[in-house]
Amino acid sequence: MKMNHVGIMVGDMDKAVEFYTKALGLSIVMGNSKVLEERESAIGRMCIAVFGEGFKGFNIAHLMTSDGIGVELFEMNVRAERHVVDFSKIGIFHFCLQTDDFDGVIAKTKEFGGKVRMDIMRYHPEDDSKPAKMVYLEDPFGNLFELYSHTYAETYATEYE
């Protein structure tokens, strides 16, 4: 199994594309596009199946990480409220990105309207041979994401390979 993409609801597509490209370094695969509620196209029928009748339409953009994972941004035609993570409910509550420019991404996250949710943490502070760092951040809409300095395996494995 491979990860293909993640879908994220945002409140302002232009601001979201700017944040995810300039702060996080993602590339644009398909820029801001309008999807309408209709039954003539496959995407229209799929969206009715997913969102139900009456969603009217929304804006969508497709971005991509440097290793080819897609990030699908959705701006729905509803009142945009900041996302609040509810840890009392089951479901996905964050995604994680990895970078070689850990401090730079944190600075750009703040510069482009995001937030830092915690102090930077090392998973193995007692072992200088395992320097993996992490931090939880937010995009400008309150979507929570984690930032890693090393791969998933390097972060959690008992010994680096």
Q: Note the pLDDT tens digit of each residue in 73-107.
A: 999 876 667 777 888 889 889 999 999 999 999 99
The pTM of the whole model exceeds 0.85:
yes
66, 81, 96 - which closes a domain:
81
Domain boundary among 81, 116, 142: 81
pLDDT at position 161 is 47
Domains of the chain: total:
2
Q: Are residues 156 and 98 in the same domain?
A: yes
pLDDT attached to residue 16: 97
| Domain end call among 44, 59, 81 | 81
Q: Which pair of tokens denotes residue 58?
A: 């929304």
How many whole angstroms separate alpha carbon 101 and alpha carbon 17?
20
Instruction: Give me the residues of the chain with pLDDT under 70, please.
Output: 78-80, 158-161
Q: Quote the pLDDT of residue 158.
A: 65
Identify the CATH number of the domain in which residue 153 sits: 3.10.180.10
Give me the domain span that covers residue 141: 84-161
Residues 57 and 94 in one domain: no
Q: Are residues 28 and 16 in the same domain?
A: yes
pLDDT value of residue 102: 96
pLDDT reported for residue 78: 66
